[in-house]
């Protein structure tokens, strides 16, 4: 089974045009994406992370076939971005923040009816599809209200409903919670995780700069900086990139030579004969480590996991990369 999303060496450069470039006849070039290769497996929620200007939205637009890369190619659900763009558009649903493409004086149902026709749906098939996406997004009771009277959360759910009209395999979410209040954001995160991903089995590319959201719902992460891909992979592996602070804390009492043998470094002063130590062992190694420590005469009073926050890891990754990169907008 091919990956849901596969990109190979995608690059994109824009030419900036303003009064300075016109006056001095010296165009300025912005390299928005630089040799991006990325894979998203079917059914996965991947968080596309990066500071403003990292190239996230440019990558989303390329995946949506709204713009073409200068070089490289990719595929969605096995369809080539460059050679099968029409087929790609049938495989994706896209949700933007602050979407202005709905008709404010029409009801939610009437808006969906209009967009369903653009997907070549008609008759009972269109009626059934609209009913399904309204039920899926829990907008049945608001379907016949005008769009202008929707709350921000309801507008975002209608965006999801529209994106689900073609029954896409991949959903692209670009800063989907930026206009939502904390309660609506919480509901939207739960809906994405529990309904779109778990129930509907959709592959989701979650583009955001809100690291707490990515930390909560994403299975894997891709971190962009200045148009380059710094790291990508399972979320738990990304969190191990900053070594020495994730792992486990032991509160124990035992011979120093045993602690040294298992590379347990004391990080807190001894108090009442107890020492707090850090271990970089993986979760799978901990049961065996506990058994061996006990056999060596070590008394373990407390054991707890320590996980570095995604925010601190992200900050360190994007600020310690020393690259010679041009301006990105």
Domains and CATH numbers, the chain: 5-104+163-238 (3.40.50.300), 247-306 (3.30.70)
Distance between CA atoms of 83 and 91, rounded to whole angstroms?
14
What the block records as the tokens of 316 is 């360190």
What average pLDDT is seen over the chain? Answer: 85
Least confident of 86-90, 203-207, 235-239: 235-239
Distance between CA atoms of 109 and 111, rounded to whole angstroms?
5
Q: Which of 271, 270, 264 is nearest to 250 (CA)?
A: 264
Q: What's the start-to-end Cα distance of the chain, in Å?
A: 36
The residue with greater pLDDT, 25 or 180, is 180
Q: Which helix (H) or strand (E) holds 62?
A: helix 56-63
Binned at pLDDT 50, 70 and 90, residue 213 comes out as: confident
Binned at pLDDT 50, 70 and 90, residue 320 comes out as: low
Task: Tell me the whole-structure pTM to 2 decimals.
Answer: 0.73
pLDDT tens, residue by residue, 4-51: 999 999 999 998 777 776 777 777 788 999 999 999 999 999 999 888
Q: Give the percent of the chain with pLDDT over 90.
A: 50
pLDDT of amino acid 243: 47
């Amino acid at each position: 089974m091919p990956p849901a999303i596969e990109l190979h060496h995608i690059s994109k450069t824009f030419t900036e045009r303003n009064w300075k470039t016109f006056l001095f006849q010296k165009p300025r070039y912005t390299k928005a994406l630089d040799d991006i290769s990325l894979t998203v497996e079917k059914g996965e929620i991947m968080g596309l992370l990066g500071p403003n200007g990292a190239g996230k939205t440019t990558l989303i637009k390329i995946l949506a076939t709204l713009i073409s890369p200068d070089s490289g190619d990719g595929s969605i659900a096995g369809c080539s971005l460059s050679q099968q763009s029409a087929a790609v558009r049938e495989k994706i649903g896209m949700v933007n923040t602050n979407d202005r493409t709905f008709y404010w004086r029409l009801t939610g149902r009437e808006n969906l009816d209009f967009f369903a026709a653009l997907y070549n749906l008609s008759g009972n098939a269109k009626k059934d599809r609209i009913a399904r996406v309204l039920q899926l997004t829990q907008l049945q009771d608001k379907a016949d209200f005008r769009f202008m009277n929707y709350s921000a959360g309801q507008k975002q759910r209608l965006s999801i409903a529209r994106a689900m009209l073609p029954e896409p395999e991949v959903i692209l979410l670009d800063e989907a919670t930026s206009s939502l209040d904390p309660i609506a954001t919480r509901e939207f995160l739960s809906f994405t995780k529990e309904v779109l991903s778990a129930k509907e089995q959709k592959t989701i590319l979650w583009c955001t700069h809100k690291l707490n959201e990515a930390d909560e719902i994403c299975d894997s992460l891709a971190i962009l900086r200045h148009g380059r891909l710094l790291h990508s992979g399972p979320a738990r592996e990304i969190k191990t990139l900053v070594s020495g602070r994730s792992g486990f804390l032991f509160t124990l009492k035992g011979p120093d030579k045993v602690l040294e043998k298992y590379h347990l470094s004391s990080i807190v002063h001894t108090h009442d004969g107890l020492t707090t130590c850090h271990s970089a062992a993986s979760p799978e190694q901990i049961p065996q480590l506990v058994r061996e420590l006990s056999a060596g005469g070590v008394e373990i009073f407390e054991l707890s996991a320590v996980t570095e926050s995604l925010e601190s890891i992200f900050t360190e990754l994007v600020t310690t990369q020393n690259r010679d990169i041009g301006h990105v907008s």
